[in-house]
Structure 1
Amino acid sequence: MLLENKTAVIYGGGGSIGGAMARAFAAEGARVFLAGRTAAKLDAVAEDIRQAGGLAETAVVDALDETAVNGWVDSVAEVAGGVDVSVNVISHDAIFTPLIEMPVEGFARSMEKVARTFLLTTQAAARHMVKQGSGVILNFGGSDSTNSSPGLGTVQVGCEMIEAMRRQWACELGPHSVRVLSMRTGGVSEGMPDTPEIAPIKQQMADATLLGRTATLADVGRVAAFLVSDHARTLTSTQVNISCGALVD
């Protein structure tokens, strides 16, 4: 198995993307620790993993709280003997307003949330990874700076911030054999409701790809499991594009 004897922490582990990654990591042998704000959602993912024979534990953790994040990661490292993988897929407070009309306070709050959570969670994991001389930080939702679109508001800017942090972290952590990566999908339509309002959007997402389909949650999980495994040991400071051709490199 790709991740046998590995320990993974996932913020937003009760969501669709975080849950897909958690299930895939556990299926490949990892012990997964899920963090989020809603215990019921975390427990549902953990139960799926346990039913499939995997190992999963949950904790309600505010990924914006420095004390809570550091305390939780330290406790995971103590119990598991280290931290091998850290993933942050918590939701952003997106504001879909043109920047010329953007309320300054709203923009500042949105950017502060992105910067704070990705700095805190990466710092907490990196301290342990540097000590053990190995580890992988995986971000989700990488941007395409050559293909910005109007109306995305804080989404594009926030993703660019995450990518800038990814590059800097990779530079600083590389000498300690810690890899930092991000994934971009161009959108995952699976799980979106088939309502009259949403169905055309899902079709537009598929039509925008070269393969005529979008990535599934299982696709996200499988690729993520490979990226954080030793089979991808040469990859760091880069985005991995699984957009089915919606985002052309």
Structure 2
Amino acid sequence: MLLENRTAVVYGAGGAIGGALARGFAAEGARCVLVGRTPGPLDTTAAAVRASGGRAETAVLDALDEAAVNDHADSVAAATGSLDISVNVITQEAVFGPLADLPVADVARSVAGTVTSQLITTRAAARHMGKQGSGVILFFGGSDGIYKQPGMGSVQIGMDVVEGIRRQWACELGPLGVRVLTLLTGGIPETFPDAPEMEPAKQAIADATLLGRAATLEDVGRVAAFVASDRARSMTATQVNISCGAHGD
């Protein structure tokens, strides 16, 4: 297995993307620590991982609480002997719509929350990975300087800022043996509400690709597991494109 004897911490594991990442890591042998603010969704993800033969435990905490995140990372590293993979897929209070129509305070609060959460969780992981001389920190969403979509509100802005954070972490942690990457997505239709009015948006994602289909949650988990493994040990400081060709150079 690609991730045997590795410990993966997934912040936002109760959501669709976080759950997919956890299942992907666990399928390759990782011990998964599922973190979020609400017990129910975390328990659901943990049950799915265990039902497939994987290992999972849960922790309820707020990724904006720096002391709690640090204490938890310390406890994970102490209990397992290492903290090998960290990924935070939490988007704080996302607001959508044309920027001209959105209250400045709402957009600023959303972006600030996302950035703060990412800094806290990445810093907590980096402290342990730097000492180990190994580890992988993943971000999700990504940024495309060519393709833009109106109405994304705070979400794409937050992703663009997080990409700047990813670049800085990569150059600072690389000499310590820690890899830092982003999974660049063109959208995952399975994460959309199952409602007739959402079908055009789902179809638009598929239509924008070169393959005529969008990435699935299973794709997300499988690619993440590969990227986090030693088979991708030469990869860092970049985005891994899982957009099925919706984004390209």
TM-score range, shorter chain: over 0.9
CA distance 1:194–1:116, change in 2 (3 Å) = closer
Aligned residue type for 1:113: G
Question: In the alignment, what sits opposite 2:239?
Answer: 239
* Separation in structure 1 between the aligned mates of residue 80 and residue 227 of structure 2, nearest angstrom: 21
Aligned residue type for 1:152: M
1:30 and 2:30 are equivalent in the alignment: yes
* Separation in structure 1 between the aligned mates of residue 116 and residue 7 of structure 2, nearest angstrom: 24
TM-superposed CA distance for 1:191, in Å, is 4.5
Question: In the alignment, what sits opposite 2:174?
Answer: 174
Gaps of 5+ in 2: none
TM (norm. structure 1) is: 0.96
User: More displaced, 169-178 or 40-49?
Assistant: 40-49
> Aligned runs of 1:7-46 on 2, under 5 Å?
7-46=7-46
CA contact (8 A) 1:145 1:160 kept: no
TM-superposed CA distance for 1:194, in Å, is 4.2
User: More displaced, 204-213 or 224-233?
Assistant: 204-213
> Aligned runs of 1:7-86 on 2, under 5 Å?
7-86=7-86
* Separation in structure 1 between the aligned mates of residue 107 and residue 191 of structure 2, nearest angstrom: 28
* Separation in structure 1 between the aligned mates of residue 235 and residue 20 of structure 2, nearest angstrom: 22
CA-based RMSD of the aligned residues comes to 1.2
SS of residue matched to 2:189? coil
Aligned residue type for 1:217: L
CA contact (8 A) 2:111 2:155 kept: no
* Separation in structure 2 between the aligned mates of residue 143 and residue 92 of structure 1, nearest angstrom: 18
TM-superposed CA distance for 1:94, in Å, is 2.1
CA distance 1:143–1:92, change in 2 (3 Å) = farther
TM-superposed CA distance for 1:198, in Å, is 1.1
User: More displaced, 152-161 or 99-108?
Assistant: 99-108
1:221 and 2:221 are equivalent in the alignment: yes
* Separation in structure 2 between the aligned mates of residue 160 and residue 201 of structure 1, nearest angstrom: 22
Aligned residue type for 1:29: G
* Separation in structure 1 between the aligned mates of residue 194 and residue 42 of structure 2, nearest angstrom: 25
Question: In the alignment, what sits opposite 1:203?
Answer: 203
TM-superposed CA distance for 1:121, in Å, is 0.2
CA contact (8 A) 2:5 2:30 kept: yes
CA contact (8 A) 1:184 1:243 kept: yes
Gaps of 5+ in 1: none
* Separation in structure 2 between the aligned mates of residue 215 and residue 236 of structure 1, nearest angstrom: 22
Give the length in aligned residue pairs: 249
CA distance 1:108–1:205, change in 2 (3 Å) = same
1:131 and 2:131 are equivalent in the alignment: yes
* Separation in structure 1 between the aligned mates of residue 23 and residue 107 of structure 2, nearest angstrom: 34
User: More displaced, 95-104 or 204-213?
Assistant: 95-104
Question: In the alignment, what sits opposite 1:230?
Answer: 230
* Separation in structure 1 between the aligned mates of residue 194 and residue 89 of structure 2, nearest angstrom: 24
